[in-house]
Amino acid sequence: MVTRIGIHASVETLFPPTVLVDELDDVDPEVTVVTSDDLDGVDALVTFAYDDAFLDSGLEWIHSVQSGVDRFPFEDLEAAGVRLTNSTGTHGDSVGETVAGYMLSFARRLHEYRSKQERTEWAWPAWQDPFTLDGSSLCVVGLGTLGQGIAARADALGMDVVGVKRTPTPVDHVDTVYPRADLHEAIADAKFVALAVPLTDDTAGMIGDAELDAMRDDAVLVNVARGPVVEQDALVDALEGDELTGAALDVFEAEPLPEDSPLWELDEVVVTPHAAAATRDYAERMAALVRENVRRVAAGERLANAVV
């Protein structure tokens, strides 16, 4: 039975913690904003950050307000008897729209016009640069919640969509689903390659020199997964060496992206601040996940989105 839910102050990164407290005013457990020093009596914690203090504070269940839980030490949590749930299943539309936006920007040159607007510059693009997404190709690497959200929007825009996943079963809106072993074949013909895998031992460095070589020179890489899925130095080299046309990056090896990163300066790189999933509905969506799992705990059912 959950008696007290703490909303960790770190969720402030995504939305004000009190908004989630208000959203959860219909659940039986008491819901309050807490910090890592103030976990007495809290049995369930909703958090953005991970803190070692969570291990020996009597918590029974932690809910991560992110889908990616690569920062959480699974074995330590298991040893401490703390269950962990994540927020997968909630970001297909927000991230799908963001990726559609990146691709539209590259095709229709919107980022170029915006940069020129800042210089009060009225100028037609180079005639060969604009194109349409209709008829362009996309490879989505990772076809879960995010990948399917991306694929559905790309298909609606008339793109030819292929994808990659661990278990290459058919996926709606995706013409061909490749296994991980065929990654190079999958990305070889794509104008856009969009990464939507979790960060794991197998996906760290998944896109390095060899994969950038395998991609078309006029390709655009989109990363909404996690920074270390891409070898960032190799990416910068490829962009600076014209082996890749552009990139739309929401996630980076180091976040915030350091001021001296060359990625800030490249015209054909769109940098967003790990905000692909941002939406004013974020807290409401978290409340729905937490509410469902409070019900499941009371009913003795397995937690939804269980990771540990």
For ligand NDP, the closer of residues 87 and 245 by Cβ is 87
User: What does the block give as tokens for 60?
Assistant: 């029974």
Least distance to ligand NDP, CB of residue 17, Å: 19
Q: How many residues bind ligand NDP (CB under 6 A)?
A: 31
Q: Which of 274, 289, 293, 305 binds ligand NDP (CB under 6 A)?
A: 274
Q: Does 17 bind ligand NDP (CB under 6 A)?
A: no
Asked if 11 and 20 count as a contact pair (C-beta separation under 8 A), the reply is yes
Minimum Å gap between C-beta 166 and ligand NDP is 3
Residue in 199, 215, 248, 297 binding ligand NDP, rule: CB under 6 A: 199
Residues 215-234 touching ligand NDP, rule: CB under 6 A, are 224-226
Query: Is residue 144 a contact point for ligand NDP (CB under 6 A)?
Result: yes
Look-up of token digits 């090896």: 253
Active site residue 274: yes
The least distance separating ligand NDP from the CB of residue 92, rounded to whole angstroms, comes to 7
**Interaction between residue 4 and ligand NDP (CB under 6 A):** no
- C-beta of 57 vs 86, nearer to ligand NDP: 86
Identified binder of ligand NDP from the candidate list 6, 147, 227, 246, rule CB under 6 A:
147
Catalytic site residue from 240, 255, 301, 302: 255
The CA distance from 91 to 198, in Å, is: 13
Token pair 């991230």 in the structure block, residue: 95
Among 36, 47, 57, 67, binds ligand NDP (CB under 6 A): 67
Q: Are strands 44-47 and 220-223 parallel, antiparallel or unpaired?
A: unpaired
Q: Which of 91, 153 has the CB closer to ligand NDP? A: 91
Phi/psi of residue 183, nearest 5 degrees: -55, -45
N- to C-terminal Cα separation, the chain: 18
Q: Give min distance, CB of 277 to ligand NDP, in A.
A: 4
Q: Annotated catalytic, 255?
A: yes
Q: Shortest Cβ distance from residue 208 to ligand NDP (Å)? A: 14
Q: State how far the Cα of 93 lies from the Cα of 146, in Å rounded to an integer.
A: 8
Q: Is the sign of the CA dihedral 41, 43, 44, 45 positive or negative? A: positive
Q: Secondary structure of the chain: what % helix, strand, coil (to 5)?
A: 35, 20, 50
Which among 102, 72, 103 is positioned nearest to 87, based on CA atoms?
A: 72
Q: In what order do the strands lie in the sheet with 137-141?
A: 176-179, 160-165, 137-141, 192-195, 220-223, 246-249, 269-271
Contacts of ligand NDP in 93-122 (CB under 6 A): 95
Question: CB-wise, 39 or 194, nearer to ligand NDP?
Answer: 194
Q: Which of 167, 259, 280, 299 binds ligand NDP (CB under 6 A)?
A: 167
- Answer yes or no: 226 catalytic: yes
DSSP symbols for 34-87: E-TT--TT--EEEESS--GGGTTS---EEEESSS--TTS-HHHHHHTT-EEE--
Q: Scanning the structure block, which residue is given the tokens 């013909």?
A: 189
Provide the minimum distance between the beta carbon of 234 and ligand NDP in the complex, in angstroms, as a whole number: 18
Provide the annotated active-site residues: 226, 255, 274
List of residues contacting ligand NDP (CB under 6 A)? 67-68, 88, 91, 95, 142-147, 164-167, 180, 196-200, 202-203, 224-226, 250-251, 274, 276-277
